[in-house]
């Protein structure tokens, strides 16, 4: 929940919300099974956008709701669903969001998790015998609100089982955590997008994200619309520079940079540049105790275009963090840093 007080915005959500939502459909998460989704589809649980409410919208099954909603249970038991994380990860906490579910939310929920090896297919989730670990004990849910809970363990998992007691609706499930990738298994000569969120890259800090969030910059695929990027407000200060700092998934050497202004037509930045450094920690970078070096000198940008830079990229043998600068302001959809681990 964000609160504005005397012009200053405060955030009283738990600290784990700074981590990536490992379940997000946008990242590649999936809802594989639900015991019942009669009123509203299980797939809504992991949609990126905040849940909405449309007062007069109904379907032939009842009130349209933006979430997962099961029918009223008239038999013993409870409902549950299976969520496949986009990538294996260490889970820090959850938001079991019941937005707009007021007379129809579940009073309680719990979560179990399991780590399945690649290629392990489950044909029948209702009868699968798996070694589930409880990572959230049965906990109360408030109606129409964000229900934040920390995970009981930060072991590596790939799938979750969300239990609701006994039935009802959940708008969104956010699963905050860190991507786990065994870089020792990644070939040294294999080129990869080293800043990609799916590999473990992270947007750390920016000076402005008035219209859309910095995390979008490193998501998979191209942006779906103008809201699916990083966009700053119009800045009237002469020679303004907006910036964002990102941590690579693994230190490396960059060979190609892709700056994509997809969907940004009247509001793309005039130009951009990228600086890089090597640092032992994020704190070192955020405190300003690093020496930024040019990685990509200032380049002109165009509207709604994927810009590829190769010859222009400086050969820096080992970097861990980058700072993308845009002049004077505007929106960038995606940033790709194609390179090899070092």
Q: Give which of 69, 21, 72 is closest to 47, Cα–Cα.
A: 21
- In 8-123, beta strands by DSSP E: 8-11, 20-21, 30-34, 58-59, 62-63, 68-69, 79-97, 108-114
Q: How far apart are CA 143 and CA 267, in angstroms?
A: 39
Average pLDDT over residues 44-65: 95
Model confidence at 113, in pLDDT bands (50, 70, 90)? very high
Q: Give which of 243, 247, 244, 245 is closest to 202, Cα–Cα.
A: 247
Which helix (H) or strand (E) element contains residue 285? helix 282-286
Q: What is the pLDDT of residues 239-268, one digit of tens each?
A: 999 999 999 999 999 999 999 999 999 999
pLDDT at 1 over 90: no
Q: How far apart are CA 332 and CA 199, in angstroms?
A: 20
pLDDT at 66 over 50: yes
Q: How far apart are CA 55 and CA 23, in angstroms?
A: 28
Q: What is the pLDDT of residues 260-290, one digit of tens each?
A: 999 999 999 999 999 999 999 999 999 999 9
| Mean pLDDT score of the chain | 95
Q: What is the pLDDT of residue 5?
A: 42
Q: What is the pLDDT of residues 126-174, one digit of tens each?
A: 999 999 999 999 999 999 999 999 999 989 999 999 999 999 999 999 9
Strands 242-260 and 334-341 come out as: antiparallel
Q: pTM above the 0.85 mark?
A: yes
Q: Largest Cα–Cα distance in the chain? A: 67
pLDDT at 8 over 50: no
Domains of the chain: 2-179 (2.60.120.260), 183-341 (2.60.120.260)
pLDDT at 236 over 80: yes
pLDDT at 118 over 50: yes
The residues, any chain, with a CB within 8 Å of residue 300's CB and separated by 6 or more, are: 270, 271
Model confidence at 11, in pLDDT bands (50, 70, 90)? confident
């Amino acid at each position: 929940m964000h609160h504005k007080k005397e012009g200053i915005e405060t955030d009283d959500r738990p600290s784990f919300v700074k981590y990536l939502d490992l379940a997000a459909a946008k990242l590649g998460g999936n809802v594989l099974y639900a015991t019942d989704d009669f009123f509203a589809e299980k797939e809504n649980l992991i949609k990126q956008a905040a849940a909405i409410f449309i007062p007069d919208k109904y379907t032939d099954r009842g009130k349209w709701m933006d979430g997962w909603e099961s029918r009223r249970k008239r038999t013993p038991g409870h409902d549950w669903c299976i969520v496949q994380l986009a990538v294996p990860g260490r889970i820090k906490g959850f938001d079991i969001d019941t937005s707009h579910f007021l007379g129809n939310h579940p009073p309680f929920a719990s979560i179990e998790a399991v780590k399945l090896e690649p290629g392990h297919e489950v044909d029948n989730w209702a009868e699968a015998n798996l070694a589930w670990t409880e990572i959230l004990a049965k906990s109360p849910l408030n109606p129409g609100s964000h229900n934040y809970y920390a995970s009981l363990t930060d072991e590596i998992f790939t799938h979750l089982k969300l239990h609701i007691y006994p039935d009802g609706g959940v708008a969104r499930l956010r699963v905050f955590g860190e991507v786990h990738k065994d870089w020792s298994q990644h070939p040294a000569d294999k080129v990869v997008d080293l800043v990609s969120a799916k590999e473990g890259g992270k947007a750390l800090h920016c000076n402005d994200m008035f219209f859309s969030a910095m995390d979008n910059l490193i998501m998979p695929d191209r942006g779906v619309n103008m809201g699916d990027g990083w966009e700053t407000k119009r800045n009237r200060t002469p020679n303004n520079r907006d910036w964002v700092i990102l941590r690579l998934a693994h230190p490396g050497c960059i060979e190609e940079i892709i700056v994509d202004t997809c969907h940004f037509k009247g509001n793309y930045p005039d130009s951009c540049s990228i600086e890089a450094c090597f640092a032992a920690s994020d704190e070192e970078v955020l405190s300003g105790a690093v020496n930024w070096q040019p990685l990509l000198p200032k380049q002109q940008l165009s509207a709604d275009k994927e810009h590829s830079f190769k010859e222009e990229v400086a050969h820096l043998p080992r970097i861990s963090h980058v700072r993308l600068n845009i002049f004077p302001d505007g929106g960038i959809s995606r940033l790709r840093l194609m390179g090899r681990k070092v």
